[in-house]
Amino acid sequence: MAAKKSFLDLEKIESELLKYGVEDVDSEIEKIEKQVKSTLNSYKEKNKIAREQYKNGIPFSEVYESTVSLNLPAWVLKKIDSARIFGDSKQMIIFPDGEKYQINNPLNNLSGGDWLNFTTSVFSTFYTTNGKDSYAHDIRKIHPSPKPPQLMKEIIEFFTKENELVFDYFMGVGGSLLGAGLCNRNAIGIDLNQKYIDAYKLAAKEIGVKDFPTICGDCIDVLSNNNKMKQLLQNDKISLVLIDPPYANMMSKEKTGGDIAVYGNKATPFTNDERDFGNLNQTVFFDSLKQSVELVFPYIKKHGYIVIFIKDLQPNKKELNLLHADIIEKLNEISNLNYKGLRIWADRSAKLFPYGYPFSFVANQIHQYILVFRKEK
């Protein structure tokens, strides 16, 4: 590759691309540079507008005598001396670098830019599974589908404020609890498998985050027990239910075709417990998931959110297997729970396999749906 000036570490990028077997490295690097330059130019234009707004703003201290009653996040308080107020409502704080915060934001502690970035409906990640930056993946990988704590942290930061409560009753190895620990939220987890809970506790210790309360048991049993729930919550209200349920009996079926290369030719259930959502046929799974949401519903605060990870099954002849659409339709039956939209997460660290080759198209499903619901009353 010809040497040229760049603001990127081209040698490192080239090394990483070669490691993953990319043949046309120069072409890929050119694409990366163009994408980065385009993004930077976009931010440059936004900052130009924001700087003009800052210039026309009023010093914060001339509008507000104190910050005590405003419940401002730590990042805003840290640089409040340089803050100005912009707009007729006197609710927009703006900083010299163009960063903004809406004082009357009831949902989260994010800047306007971070809010905007999160609402992108399709996004991709490539989280490493090695070393310190893997967030104890070597411990968490005993689960077939461990969610990255970094991803869960981003979701939690959007749907909660600091010290609010996140609840996950399909916690697995605790990706959501670890994410909560990374951003100063509280969390509670439930799982049927003690092995997964033990792995979470080891991961929390290795990462250096708080070890949150957990229960080993069936989520329906726990959610149905009012006394146990009151003991768990201690009069706190849930701000975010963040769950990644088993996708019906996907894992408990014997594998066929290309899946044999991934999992072997045997069923790989999460547990052998008949109460496990991963051992239910689709019809019972949808009904049970709806029941779980109805049971947790009274413990969620008004305008609290339920966020659900789900992955579609492969179509089978005339069976569409669009689990995400079926779940939206099922949960939409619940009174005062509204479907708000979805995000599609593409996990680019997922391995690709030649499904269907060379006879028929079969998609490598590296994406999952993140469904968002809100409690209205």
Question: Contact at 8 Å (CB) between 176 and 147?
Answer: yes
Question: Contact at 8 Å (CB) between 250 and 220?
Answer: no
Nearest to 242 by CA among 302, 321, 320, 168: 168
Record the pTM: 0.86
Whether CATH 3.40.50.150 fits 122-375: yes
**Residue 349 dihedral angles phi and psi, to the nearest 5°:** -85, -5
Nearest to 314 by CA among 361, 376, 265: 361
Q: Is the pLDDT of residue 157 over 60?
A: yes
Question: For position 322, what pLDDT does the model report?
Answer: 96
How many residues does this entry show for the chain?
Answer: 377
Question: For position 266, what pLDDT does the model report?
Answer: 61
pLDDT digits (tens, 9 = 90+) for 94-141: 999 889 999 999 999 999 999 999 999 999 999 999 998 999 999 999
Specify the amino acid at residue 212.
F
CA dihedral 43, 46, 47, 48 (to 10 degrees): 130
| pLDDT band, residue 257 (cuts 50/70/90) | low
Question: For position 13, what pLDDT does the model report?
Answer: 87
Domain boundaries, the chain: 12-17+23-104, 122-375
**Residues 96, 47: Cα–Cα separation, whole Å:** 9
- Sheet containing strand 186-191, edge to edge, reads 122-125, 337-347, 367-375, 300-310, 238-243, 165-168, 186-191, 214-216
Query: To the nearest whole percent, how much of the chain has pLDDT over 70?
Result: 92
Average pLDDT over residues 78-101: 95
CA 158 to chain CA centroid, Å, is 9
Q: Is the pLDDT of residue 249 over 60?
A: no
**Beta-carbon count within 10 A of 57 CB:** 18
Nearest to 299 by CA among 169, 191, 155, 105: 169
Give the SS3 label for residue 177: helix
Q: Give me the half-sphere count of Cα atoms (radius 13 Å) on the Cβ side of residue 364.
A: 13
CA 35 to chain CA centroid, Å, is 24
**Residues 338, 67: Cα–Cα separation, whole Å:** 34
Q: Is the pLDDT of residue 192 over 60?
A: yes
Q: Is the pLDDT of residue 7 over 80?
A: no
pLDDT digits (tens, 9 = 90+) for 24-68: 888 988 888 888 888 777 777 777 788 889 999 999 999 999 999
Q: Is the pLDDT of residue 1 over 70?
A: no
